[in-house]
């Protein structure tokens, strides 16, 4: 790491650190991109230590203490902290560390606020390749956001939430009192309570940084200007931010022609708490702008120009994808712009061709969902070769009919292994990776209306589906903290091949074919297409619905199980008589 002092026009000196890339990243004929990181309040450049560790192997990373913080000078005048002055500081740093080429910008909190100001002005024209903003909007954009949403009653809830989150700004405008709160340690305790990732700030930095709010907030929010960004911009909006809500950060499409918005789980200081998450998001945009392939996560987050399809840029994994509900679900997602991983013990070659005919990528895979070791290898290979799926549909299942007493241990083992363990494997292996990634996602577990229906005809099947339903409810509670949705889909009688392939316990081999044929005719007469279930799966993901009953009989059974369970028990007794 090399350090230097950059002197700006008003005599302030800024402490700058340049982290050179590893030797392996440097080649004679390829320019190594320079990334300049700008911290916010009440931090210094140490905010970026974890991110630098992740990025410095491939990029030349520059950090600096903004004026008033760290090892940089601390001017006393309030006007020394005006946004125009801060933008000039950033321009001076860029000129000093990269005089012959453009740089990429990564900024947080007040660092992002001043970087927005610089990017939308003349200070850095033609000097910036991309900008990733975290938890800090352009103040002019924020002023327009407040004004526009005041005219829209439907947006008043977002306004009220942001106003509550921004109450501290009014406090910082008071004379003397904020300084006393800083010097007494009260501010440090409040920050730690709202976000444990923020260490106690340096008191001198925090006191001088109050000028950022006093010099800029009222004049910018009260009289916002028209400020446009002509570079690729990525807004990273932590969903648990205690100070800047996601709607305020992300509602900037009118000002940015090339915009992406990524909502990630985490608090305001996510750059310190989850540096790998931030580094990955920044690196994906940098790599793409530098001529690399656009990562699927970038395509998924694109706002301007808006991609076609409700799930454009998404990767969806479907088990049991060779036929029935799995096949219909895979094709429905492909119709809405998603690429699809098709998993089944049967061949998915035909379905893969249908997905590709829709202009989407298909990744057929053969795997037995009941095999724990095979599923672990499958999950690892999918993530390594294709990426973490944004949506996982655990659909694979088998049918076993017959009474409890007639169902053999082998039949019980088979139905439990596929219908329950298959869902457990998919939920654990992919749900864990979605939580670790921290950018949302969804898990859909296909259960059945049999989960609500005690009966003597399908006890083994019903038991596994009831377990899947309860597993899904538990998983939904667990993954909510990571921003990952979980839904159970409980269809009734659907026109699929499950009845024609079911195992009838207690029946001889000669009788199996007849029972399968009769059950299959019943399903065919009901004539509820698997495509209708697929439509409900997509809606469940879009709306984050906990439980979905696609068919009329499923809806009725759900209601009866809640309000008149005795009636269902009586019906079960009659069916066994």
Q: Just list the catalytic residues.
A: 461
Q: Concatenated DSSP letters for 261-328?
A: EEEESS-TTHHHH-HHHHHHHHHHHHHHHTTPPPPHHHHHHEEESPPSSTTTT-EEEEESTTSHHHHH
Q: Compute the Cα dihedral for 424, 426, 432, 435 and give only its sign.
A: negative
Instruction: Tell me how far CA of residue 244 lies from CA of 3, 131, 186, 196, 379, in angstroms.
Output: 32, 18, 21, 17, 35
According to CATH, the topology of domain 315-576 is Rossmann fold (3.40.50)
Query: What is the pLDDT at residue 507?
Result: 59
Beta strand pairing call for 400-401 and 442-446: unpaired
Predicted confidence pLDDT, tens digits, the chain (577 residues):
899 999 999 999 999 999 998 766 666 567 899 999 999 999 999 999 999 999 998 999 999 999 999 999 999 999 999 999 999 999 999 999 999 999 999 999 999 999 999 999 999 999 999 999 999 999 999 999 999 999 999 889 999 999 999 999 999 999 999 999 999 999 888 888 888 888 888 999 999 999 999 999 988 888 888 999 999 999 999 999 999 999 999 889 999 999 999 999 999 999 999 999 999 999 999 999 999 999 999 999 999 888 889 999 999 999 999 999 999 999 999 999 999 999 999 999 999 999 999 999 999 999 999 999 999 999 999 999 999 999 999 999 998 888 898 888 999 999 999 999 999 999 999 999 999 999 999 999 999 999 999 988 889 999 999 999 999 999 999 999 999 999 999 998 887 666 556 666 655 566 556 555 665 566 666 678 999 999 999 999 999 999 999 999 999 999 999 999 998 888 888 766 5
Fold: same for 2-304 and 315-576: yes
Torsion-angle region of 566 (φ positive above 0: left; ψ -120 to 50: alpha; else: beta) = alpha
Secondary structure class of 438 (helix, strand, coil):
coil
According to CATH, the topology of domain 2-304 is Rossmann fold (3.40.50)
Query: What is the pLDDT at residue 195?
Result: 84
Query: What is the pLDDT at residue 482?
Result: 94
| Domain residue extents for the chain | 2-304, 315-576
| SS3 sequence of 115-172 | HHHHHCCCCCCCCEEEEEEECCCCHHHHHHHHHHHHCCHHHHHHHHHHHHHCHHHHHH
Query: What is the pLDDT at residue 509?
Result: 63
| SS3 sequence of 66-101 | CCCCCCCCCCCCHHHHCHHHHHHHHHHHHHHHCCCC
pTM of the model: 0.89
Environment class of 311 (CB within 10 Å of its CB; exposed 0-12, middle 13-18, buried 19+): buried
């Amino acid at each position: 790491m090399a350090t230097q002092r950059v002197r700006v026009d008003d005599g302030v000196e800024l402490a700058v650190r340049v982290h050179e890339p590893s030797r392996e990243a440097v080649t004679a004929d390829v320019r190594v991109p320079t990334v300049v990181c700008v911290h916010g309040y009440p931090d210094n450049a140490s905010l970026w230590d974890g991110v630098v560790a992740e990025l410095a192997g491939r990029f030349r990373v520059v950090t600096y203490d903004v004026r008033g913080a760290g090892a940089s000078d601390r001017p006393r005048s309030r006007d020394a902290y005006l946004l125009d002055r801060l933008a000039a500081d950033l321009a001076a740093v860029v000129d000093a560390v990269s005089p012959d080429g453009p740089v990429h910008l990564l900024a947080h909190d007040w660092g992002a606020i001043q970087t927005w100001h610089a990017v939308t002005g003349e200070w850095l024209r033609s000097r910036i390749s991309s900008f990733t903003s975290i938890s800090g909007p352009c103040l002019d954009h924020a002023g327009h956001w407040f004004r526009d949403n005041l005219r829209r009653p439907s947006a008043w809830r977002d306004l009220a939430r942001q106003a509550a989150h921004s109450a501290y700004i009014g406090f910082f405008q008071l004379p003397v009192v904020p300084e006393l709160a800083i010097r007494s340690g009260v501010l440090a305790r409040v920050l730690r309570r709202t976000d444990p990732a923020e260490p106690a700030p340096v008191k001198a930095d925090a006191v001088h940084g109050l000028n950022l709010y006093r010099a800029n907030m009222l004049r910018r929010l009260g009289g916002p200007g028209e400020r446009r960004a002509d570079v690729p911009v990525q807004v990273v909006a932590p969903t648990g931010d205690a100070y800047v809500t996601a709607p305020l950060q992300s509602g900037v499409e009118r000002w940015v022609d090339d915009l992406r918005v990524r909502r990630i789980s985490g608090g305001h200081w996510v750059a310190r708490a989850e540096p790998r998450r931030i580094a990955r998001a920044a690196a994906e945009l940098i790599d793409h702008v530098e001529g690399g392939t656009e990562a699927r996560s970038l395509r998924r987050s694109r706002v301007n120009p808006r991609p076609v399809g409700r799930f454009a840029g998404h990767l969806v994994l479907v088990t049991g994808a060779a036929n029935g509900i799995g096949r219909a679900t895979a094709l429905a997602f492909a119709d809405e712009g998603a690429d699809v991983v098709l998993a089944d013990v049967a061949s998915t070659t035909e379905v893969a061709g249908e997905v590709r005919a829709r202009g989407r990528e298909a990744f057929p895979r053969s795997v037995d969902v009941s095999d724990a070791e095979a599923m672990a290898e499958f999950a690892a290979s999918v993530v390594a070769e294709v990426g973490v799926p944004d949506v996982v549909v655990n659909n694979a299942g088998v049918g076993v009919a017959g009474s409890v007493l007639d169902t053999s241990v082998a039949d019980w083992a088979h139905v439990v292994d596929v219908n329950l363990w298959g869902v457990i494997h998919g939920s654990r292996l992919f749900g864990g990776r979605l939580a670790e990634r921290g950018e949302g996602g969804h898990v859909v577990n296909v259960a059945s209306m049999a989960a609500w229906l005690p009966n003597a005809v399908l006890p083994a099947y019903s038991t596994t589906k009831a377990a899947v339903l309860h597993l899904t409810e538990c998983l939904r509670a667990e993954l909510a903290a990571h921003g990952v949705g979980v839904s159970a889909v409980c269809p009734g009688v659907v026109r699929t091949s499950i009845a024609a392939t079911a195992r009838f316990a207690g029946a001889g081999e000669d009788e199996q074919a007849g029972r399968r044929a009769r059950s299959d005719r019943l399903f065919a007469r009901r004539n509820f297409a698997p495509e209708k279930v697929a439509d409900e799966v997509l809606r469940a993901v879009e709306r984050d619905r906990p439980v979905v009953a696609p068919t009329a009989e499923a809806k009725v059974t759900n209601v009866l199980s809640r309000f008149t369970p005795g009636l269902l028990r009586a019906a079960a007794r009659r069916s066994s008589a």
